[in-house]
Chains A and B, each alone.
Chain A
């Protein structure tokens, strides 16, 4: 039994050593097709042309740097499949960096130094426990809420309360006194 035999995975890491290290881990999982890119242009070409089941992307830049790969997949309109899970590999553990990744639509984050256990668990979660994919005006990516509420009480949000002016506008009426 092989979990990943029919999966196609892309690794984008400009650092040759780290890219090869990640490749040595993922190849042990019996992945069907594994592509490793060192250059952004090369990665971009593959992301545009081929539908991957998951993309690993290193973020070794700094807080002000753009997560170009993640942006490209989610928001450029150029990627073959904008819903592809994107796993960011990063040592930038500051809260604002993690939130930035999340808000740009990353699926999982694997912190450096990487280990086979973390890579397996995040890859498995991304492929076999996917979260609902959300497309909004200001966000494209997996649902950022991991925990589904287990609230048994009355859901007040299910009923929208309108103010008088909202009701008036909806009914198209005029104020009685005007």
Chain B
């Protein structure tokens, strides 16, 4: 039976090894992020609510592993909104998220300032959607 100190040491070792594995996995799977971004944009362009929901959820799930917290946050908002009828079929919502994902996709790294600007624009649109 392990005592607490032994367990903490073991846990730290396992987590460090797992983080190393994740880093290697991400390095060899960089194109996957682009695939998730492309799928989200294509579904936004097609105004396909169900497709956007699935693609943005996958983007949300994966983006943080690529250190793209900006894409994580925007795609989290997007997939959650696609589950709410008043937003899921609103043309302005589709437009602002299409702009948002396309803009963030141009960068290779997370850009906090750009994300903040985009988030403000999204909130403006969301406030204008009839309840």
Contact = CB atoms under 8 A, between A and B. Distances in A.
A21 B79 contact: no
A6 B63 CA distance: 33
Interface stretch (A80-88, A116-124, A149-157): A116-124
Given A29-B14, A116-B15, A116-B19, A20 B25 contact: yes
B65 to A, nearest CB: 6
A60 interface: yes
Contacts, number: 74
Given A3-B10, A25-B22, A63-B83, A15 B61 contact: yes
Contacts of B19: 116
B22 A91 contact: no
Nearest to B36: A17
A17 B65 CA distance: 11
Interface in B22-80: 22, 24-25, 29, 32, 36, 53-54, 57-58, 60-65, 72, 76, 79
B92 interface: no
A29 B58 contact: no
A28 interface: yes
Contact of A113 (B2, B32, B65): B65
Given A17-B62, A21-B65, A62-B83, A116 B57 contact: no
A112 B72 CA distance: 10
A72 to B, nearest CB: 22
Contacts of B54: 60
Contact of B63 (A1, A20, A113, A117): A113
Contacts of A18: 58, 61-62
A78 B24 CA distance: 38
A33 interface: no
Contacts of A3: 10, 14
A114 to B, nearest CB: 8
Contacts of B24: 24
A28 B61 contact: no
Nearest to A123: B14
A24 B57 CA distance: 21
B29 A112 contact: no
A24 B25 contact: yes
A27 interface: yes
B121 interface: no
Interface of A: 1, 3, 15, 17-18, 20-21, 24-30, 60, 62-63, 91, 112-114, 116-117, 119-120, 124
8 contacts: A21-B22, A21-B65, A24-B21, A26-B18, A28-B14, A91-B76, A112-B60, A113-B65
Given A17-B62, A113-B63, A116-B19, 4 more contacts: A1-B10, A26-B18, A60-B61, A120-B14
Interface of B: 2, 6, 10-11, 14-15, 17-22, 24-25, 29, 32, 36, 53-54, 57-58, 60-65, 72, 76, 79, 83
